[in-house]
Amino acid sequence: MKAEAPKDQPLIELIGVGKNYPLANHSADRLAALWDLLRGRPIRRTRNILHEIDLRVLPGCSFGIIGENGAGKSTLLKLITGVLRASQGSVKTRGRIGALLELGAGFHPDYTGRENIGLNAALVGLTQAEILVKTPEIIAFADIGEYIDEPIKHYSSGMVVRLGFAIIAATTPDLLITDEVLAVGDESFQKKCVKWLENYVASGGTLLIVSHSMYHVQKLCQQAIWLNNGTIEKSGDVYEVTQAYLAFHERKTADGTITDRAAVDGDRFRIDSLSINGSEQATTVIKMGADLHIQGIVYSPDERTPVVVIGIVRADGTPVYGTSSEIDSARLGNIDANHFAFKLVLEDIPLLPGAYTIRSHAMDPEGVRLFDTLTLDFVVSGETRELGFCRLPHHWVDSPGSDTTDH
């Protein structure tokens, strides 16, 4: 193995990186592009795929890349692995980089498994002598029998992954780039891989993972970036980034049928203001388990006290909880004849991290007709991998069944 790399030097450093693809569907465009290249000029007709990407991956600090399809994740990986050259900015990498991607990283379809082992081992920097030593080990790990001397194009996808993983396991790169590829193999092989990955990370290996599974990203990474339309939408702590990404998706899928205040004409019951923990902006972030103070002012046209309904829904519109001043027999505070103040406190909110919306409604004093809706978004943050949207009180019984007094 190589000498231990200094811990403070990044394995990957991208500064202001951009990448464009030429628009070249016609021969004329391709010729023009060729001419530009030969003169050393930038290609004229291009489309930008990535803009201004900054990224620093330190040894031992695994990194997740999330984003929708077409956001530029694959292009970013290709820039990091050196398959592509950046159109702008600088890409610096250090150490051995191995890639294990679903589509068979670096395999030539016409080459046999054995030949591809040699090729890939040379690509990560092994000498001919080292390759000779490692090849039997790789073949044993891959465990694909006589297929090792068949061209890769005759392999099943599971066999390709086996071979790819065997090469990675034998060459132990400083940085391993991967995606949900391991889901392809069969049960026993997956176990083998997971065990290896855990050892790898535990012994100081660094992962760069592209995944649509926030669960995996949160489990394996300390940091993450969210790519959106070729730019970094958010980067930093893995929980912050994944939660912001999930919140974005929940909002996107919400159908947005809530009628806005425009429907409220003139002199009706209405909510005049609404705030969460003192803020009227939709940017409030509350730590899971903190208190939620919802307050506002409701207007009454006839000086009678209206009923206020407050509900919490997830960003996609799923109701979580709702109550009203009428249900709880709460008394509103008179500000003047027509304005009433309300304040609701939810203690230790058990909501799991994600984006939520407070909906407040003004109803007539009888609590029959609903006149107005005012909403306010907020985000619950926290570092947890629990599932669902609310933490239910629970506890695990230690070693149930092993104790005779347990029933």
Partner 1 sequence: MNLAITETMRQNWSLFIIFLRREFTGQYLGSVTSVGWALIAPLVMLAIYGYVFGEIFKVRFPEADAVGFLGYLALGMWPWIAFSESISRAIKAVKGNAALVHKTALPHEIFVYSTVLATFLTHLAGYAAVMLVLALMGKPLVWLMLPLVLYFMLLVLLLALGLGLIVAALDVFLNDVEHGVPLMLTMWFFSTPILYSPSLLPEGVLPYLNLNPMAYIVVNIREAMLIGHWTPGWIDGVALLASIGVFIFGRWFFNRCSPRFEDFL
| Contact set with partner 1 (CB under 8 A) | 21-22, 24, 27, 30-31, 33-34, 37-38, 40, 43, 78, 81-85, 99, 103-111, 115, 118-119, 122-123, 125-128, 131
| CB of 106 or CB of 367, closer to partner 1 | 106
* Cβ neighbours of 328 (radius 10 Å): 9
Instruction: Specify whether the CB–CB gap between 121 and 106 falls below 8 A.
Output: no
- By C-beta, is 86 or 286 nearer to partner 1? 86
State the Cα–Cα distance between residues 43 and 20, nearest whole angstrom: 9
Q: How far is the CB of 42 from partner 1 (least distance, A)?
A: 11
Nearest to partner 1 of 47, 395 (CB atom):
47
Q: What are phi and psi of 101, to 5 degrees?
A: -115, 160
Helix (H) or strand (E) holding 108: none
Q: With respect to partner 1, which residue has the nearer C-beta, 77 or 271?
A: 77
From 246, 277, 219, 283, select the one nearest 389 (Cα to Cα): 246
Q: Please, what's the b/e burial string for 172-204 (b: 16 or more CB within 10 A of its CB; e: otherwise)?
A: bbbbbbbbebbebbeeebeebbeebbeebbeee
Helix axes 187-202, 157-171, angle to 10 degrees: 20
Terminal C-alpha separation, the chain? 55
Sole residue written with tokens 């891959």: 142
**Sequence-ordered list of residues with C-beta below 8 angstroms from that of 324, at least 6 positions apart, any chain:** 307, 308, 309, 310, 363, 367
Nearer to partner 1, 174 or 372 (CB): 174
Helix (H, G, I), strand (E, B) or coil at 281: coil
Q: How near is the Cβ of 255 to partner 1 at its closest, in Å?
A: 40
The CB-of-353 to partner 1 minimum distance in angstroms stands at 36
Q: How far is the CB of 20 from partner 1 (least distance, A)?
A: 9
Based on C-alpha coordinates, what's the Rg of the chain? 29
Asked if residue 232 lies in contact with residue 53, where contact means CB atoms within 8 angstroms, the answer is: yes
Q: How far is the CB of 127 from partner 1 (least distance, A)?
A: 7
Q: Which is nearer to partner 1, 49 or 292 (CB)?
A: 49
Q: Which is nearer to partner 1, 78 or 251 (CB)?
A: 78
- Nearest-approach distance from CB 77 to partner 1, in angstroms: 10
Minimum distance, C-beta of residue 124 to partner 1, in the bound complex (Å): 9
